[in-house]
Structure 1
């Protein structure tokens, strides 16, 4: 920190704050009473949701100016401010001497990753006191601290507003894709195309087994390692909604008969047969033929279409709100696991339009999905930029680059003198209180 502006100083964090650790309450209740205060646990700290209240007499109390630090757990090093109540057992409250609390809070925001990754403890992580208290703290003149905090509050508020707007985009895109699929499967998407070509709505009510072959996959067992024919195969972990994840591929031993029965052809549909989540049951993807040969396990049901049906049309049908509803209705739930069967998949209803209209539906859905994918790519790029923006602004603030310096400001060296005086006065006060308590205890005896 040698490049700090003139008038700034650097000091170890332990030199400019007092601290108090939270404790477990003797009384904890869901209802607020006259003798209780909000209990600041992790959820209250992160979400500002007060769920419980603790007795006021047995705990350390935080005021709004205290900077709170998560001391224990996976989120150790996370900081907050502006909360009043009983300090939870995993929280530390720190109070700066003569320094702006908001200034300290924003500085510690820049140190979260450093504190969190340099923890101690092998099971539950804890903030390492040696790391935390020896953090170098850049102190600006007090007036400049106020200007920095004011500028930070304005900028970070804008960043948060931008994040909030960006977070709505995935849900909007999901609704858009679902509305496209719904229109595709009800005939609305190609209504103008039929009118233009003077074609009636000739969709046939069939089942999947009428337009293709449904089959199961390979059952995994320990004996398969001994078989000489070892082939790559797809598992449930490789198949997501309209997406294949092939980074983690494995081989399985099969007989020649099993190989021929479960060999995947390009454009085969793969349907997840079982899942603990009803939202994930029946998720479906199209095999792209990128690995050959490739087989599939029994927890993936394969569907191969006939020549009069397009695989991508069936894919879109199963992904649509109609298809999802049919899959969920067909699923059987046992001991928390939702499952489908080959016969149930085969009996699923499907409306099949003439082949030319299927082609047009697929073309239009692909075109609209491509637009949605382009928007999603731009959203991810914008999100990645905005996610880094807060830290970039904070880093700039504590390099002295966010607001201009004022030569009339009292230098931080003078502020440090008052910090030292206040720290000494506090230590004297604490020692005096300790002596008083010891004396009272002696007199009682």
Structure 2
């Protein structure tokens, strides 16, 4: 949390001053079986939409270990590490859903002290995770580790307890309205995508804008040249004769993504044999998702002397078919269904080959009819792009409003202060006294009468603040 001037009655504290911060128990083969098997949470159980408890594993915990690693209602668990920066420190609130549930060392447990509303602290930690602060503070290459020590020293804005609850209540109304707006935006984005799919199908059927175009179904091999690409190998590290090299990541459905083009070493005659020409259609050979199989985009000569990898199949249209028409028809749901069928394998994977691509049948009307369909489709595409741009703008405004509300909340400007509230300094003094009375120097949790599986001593949270948040709406909230 960035340093700002806090209101009277507030304090800026390290997390360990107001909560016990503990790393979970390491998983070991010797604990895979035993007489005291207990459920435990791991990083896979924590999602932006809430805790996912449909797949909770078990391992052996002794009674003493359960006392150390048991989760109690009001505990917050955070992902300790992730290969994706946006996932580092992702938090979830435990409400005692499973008796005697413990946690693994892929999670860090934050147990708030008395005087700290768990719902308020969850919102602060969620904000830090989504804003990327935890990722920036993490260590490691490839795998980003937050670490319990780093988290324990994290600065936390601390208002009086009564104001913590007012902030949670106020954010409930704001966030619930933003969530509703974003759900509406997401539905509209899906509708615009479906509308464009309908346009593509109309091109393939020849009935766009009420036309009645006659077309012959032709094998791709009859109207285009199909060829593979270059396999990336150690000997092809760019040294003396390197050229731009397109990969699967560069090909989206209907558009090229050229912000990250790699280089590859070519040998005698390879550039002439593999160089892309304007109008070539690049088809993705395989993808784990059936919806993405065979996605394709037309090369328009944006970069000179470009070749492509062997996981892309080049379809070079002949004189009977226009490149833009081929791209539109190829990405239509009607042809995608056909691609999915020919790509299906007995192993459940979806993979295309040059032979399979050659066997695909596409409608081929006259060139004049192709040109008319392309012109109509381009007008529709402009309209869809305008609509989607407006939706993206609305989504960005919602993101900024959410950021603004959270920043204001944790700077003390979202709700008014009440001079009668017990100040944060009194909360800290109570926590310190409780720890000293129990003989603890650091943030260890005081003994409270709290039964696992209940949440009687946790004030209820407003529904939309702590309840599951749609993952497709929240994960990008802080990516500006």
1:52 and 2:59 are equivalent in the alignment: no
1:303 and 2:315 are equivalent in the alignment: yes
In structure 1, C-alpha distance between the alignment counterparts of 2:81 and 2:414, rounded to whole Å: 33
Change (3 A) 1:72 1:262: closer
Any residues of structure 2 matched to 1:344-363 within 5 Å, and which? Answer: 344-363=356-375
Shift of 1:403: 0.7
In structure 2, C-alpha distance between the alignment counterparts of 1:170 and 1:229, rounded to whole Å: 44
**Matching residue of 2:128:** 111
**Matching residue of 1:395:** 407
Q: Secondary structure at the match of 2:351?
A: strand
1:187 and 2:206 are equivalent in the alignment: yes
**Matching residue of 2:74:** 65
**Matching residue of 1:370:** 382
**Matching residue of 1:436:** none
Q: Is the 8 A contact 2:229 2:314 kept in 1?
A: no
**Matching residue of 1:338:** 351
In structure 2, C-alpha distance between the alignment counterparts of 1:8 and 1:233, rounded to whole Å: 56
1:155 and 2:205 are equivalent in the alignment: no
Shift of 1:78: 2.8
Change (3 A) 1:168 1:229: same
Change (3 A) 1:24 1:2: closer
Q: Is the 8 A contact 1:38 1:53 kept in 2?
A: yes
In structure 1, C-alpha distance between the alignment counterparts of 2:197 and 2:163, rounded to whole Å: 52
Shift of 1:315: 1.6
**Matching residue of 1:248:** 261
Shift of 1:133: 2.8
Change (3 A) 1:139 1:183: same
The two structures have a TM-score, normalised by structure 2, of 0.72
Is the deviation greater in 306-315 or in 146-155? Answer: 306-315
Q: In structure 2, which of residues 15, 18, 23 is the aligned counterpart of residue 16 of structure 1?
A: 18
Any residues of structure 2 matched to 1:22-421 within 5 Å, and which? Answer: 22-23=24-25, 39-46=40-47, 47-50=50-53, 51-52=55-56, 57=63, 59=66, 60-71=69-80, 75-84=87-96, 85=98, 86-90=101-105, 91-112=108-129, 113-119=132-138, 126-190=145-209, 192-194=210-212, 201-210=213-222, 212-216=223-227, 219=230, 232=244, 234-246=246-258, 247-250=260-263, 252-253=265-266, 255=268, 260-273=272-285, 279-296=291-308, 300-331=312-343, 333=345, 338-341=351-354, 344-421=356-433
**Matching residue of 1:422:** 434
The two structures have a TM-score, normalised by structure 1, of 0.77
In structure 1, C-alpha distance between the alignment counterparts of 2:296 and 2:263, rounded to whole Å: 20
Report how many aligned residue pairs link the two structures. 418
Q: Is the 8 A contact 2:218 2:364 kept in 1?
A: yes
Shift of 1:428: 7.4
In structure 2, C-alpha distance between the alignment counterparts of 1:267 and 1:356, rounded to whole Å: 18
**Matching residue of 1:443:** none
In structure 1, C-alpha distance between the alignment counterparts of 2:343 and 2:277, rounded to whole Å: 26
Q: Is the 8 A contact 1:28 1:53 kept in 2?
A: no
Q: Is the 8 A contact 1:214 1:345 kept in 2?
A: no
In structure 2, C-alpha distance between the alignment counterparts of 1:324 and 1:4, rounded to whole Å: 57
Shift of 1:96: 1.6
Q: Is the 8 A contact 1:18 1:97 kept in 2?
A: no
CA RMSD of the aligned region, Å?
Answer: 4.0
**Matching residue of 1:3:** 5
Shift of 1:367: 1.7
Q: Is the 8 A contact 2:14 2:156 kept in 1?
A: yes
Q: Secondary structure at the match of 1:137?
A: strand
Q: Give the number of the structure whose alpha-carbon radius of gyration is greater.
A: 1
Q: Secondary structure at the match of 1:338?
A: coil
Q: Relative CO higher for 1 or 2, CA cutoff 8 Å, sep ≥ 6?
A: 2
In structure 2, C-alpha distance between the alignment counterparts of 1:10 and 1:225, rounded to whole Å: 52
**Matching residue of 2:470:** none
Shift of 1:151: 0.7
In structure 2, C-alpha distance between the alignment counterparts of 1:2 and 1:277, rounded to whole Å: 46
